[in-house]
Structure 1
Amino acid sequence: MDLLLDIDNIDYKKTALNVQGFLDHKLPHILRLANENPASLKSPVISDMPINHDGSNHNEDKIVKYIAAKNLINGVAKAFQSCSKTSFQILKSKYIDNLQDWQVEQLMYCSHSTYFKLRDKAYNEFADCFELQNGCKDLHVYK
């Protein structure tokens, strides 16, 4: 695996759209599965709870799904915190504080076009950090 070749082949616009889709549509579902709210994304919880699953018990399936959802939430929280200060502020404002883009734009005192460039950069930073978390997949889109 050639890391530099992978980095050169990232489609940053499509990666930003993929991350936005994940955070806008999949994350709320994951939060519901774990009985959490967006505030839980502020601080990850470390869990070394072992998972042993043979697929034969319906209650066990629910527990495994719950633990997987909790692990993904922790991965999202750690990825948010691993981003640069500006990117973290954008992601926190949108996905923890539930602000709209125009509200985040005003909060950051930047122009419309500058905000959207910074937002896409934040999405790409999130993808970089998220894939390194335990149990989290690569959200990058490659050329």
Structure 2
Amino acid sequence: MDLLLDIDNIDYKKTALNVQDFLDHKLPHILRLANESPASLKSPVISDMPVSHGNGENHNEEKLIKYIAAKEMINGVARAFKSCSKTSFQILKGKYIDGLQDWQVEQLMYCSHATYFKLRSRAYNEFADCFELQKGCRDLHVYDRMVKSY
């Protein structure tokens, strides 16, 4: 695996859209599965709860596994948020923890509309970088099919 080749092939616009889709549409569902609110994204929780990898015959066991996976992903989101730069964290916190609209976050940051959306795109890409390294979390980057060589 060539890390630099992977980095060179990231489509940053599509990655930002993919992260936005994940945070806007999938994360609320994951929060519901774990019986959590967006406030739980403020800080990750260490859980001593055991993870069972059963063969799927027990319905309650499947529910427990889904619940634990959702909790693990929520912790991954929280850790990824905290690993982002201060500006990116401020944007992500405003939108996904505090529940603010883009225009409200833009006003809190005292920046122009165009600047805010550039910063938001950067925040989404930073989140993708940090999220893929968290336990139980997948890579949200979108890669170009064209391979660049030097």
Per the shorter chain, which TM-score range? over 0.9
Give, in angstroms, the shift of residue 48 of structure 1.
4.3
Q: How many angstroms apart in 2 are the aligned matches of 1:48 and 1:130?
A: 22
Aligned structure 1 segments of 4 or more residues deviating by more than 6 angstroms: none
What residue number does 1:5 align with? 5
The gaps in structure 1 that reach 5 residues or longer are: none
Q: How many angstroms apart in 2 are the aligned matches of 1:68 and 1:86?
A: 29
Give, in angstroms, the shift of residue 98 of structure 1.
0.4
Q: How many angstroms apart in 2 are the aligned matches of 1:24 and 1:34?
A: 17
Q: How many angstroms apart in 2 are the aligned matches of 1:79 and 1:7?
A: 18
What are the residue-to-residue correspondences of 1:1-143 with 2, within 5 Å?
A: 1-52=1-52, 53-143=54-144
Equivalent residue letter for 1:28: P
Cα deviation, 1:5-32, whole Å, max 9, x if unaligned, reads 0000000000000000000000000000
**TM superposition score normalised by structure 1:** 0.98
Cα deviation, 1:87-112, whole Å, max 9, x if unaligned, reads 00000000000000000000000000
- Measured on the aligned residues, the alpha-carbon RMSD in Å equals 0.7
SS in 2 for 1:55: coil
Q: How many angstroms apart in 1 are the aligned matches of 2:77 and 2:133?
A: 11
Q: Alignment length, in residue pairs?
A: 143
Give, in angstroms, the shift of residue 46 of structure 1.
1.5
Q: How many angstroms apart in 1 are the aligned matches of 2:90 and 2:48?
A: 29
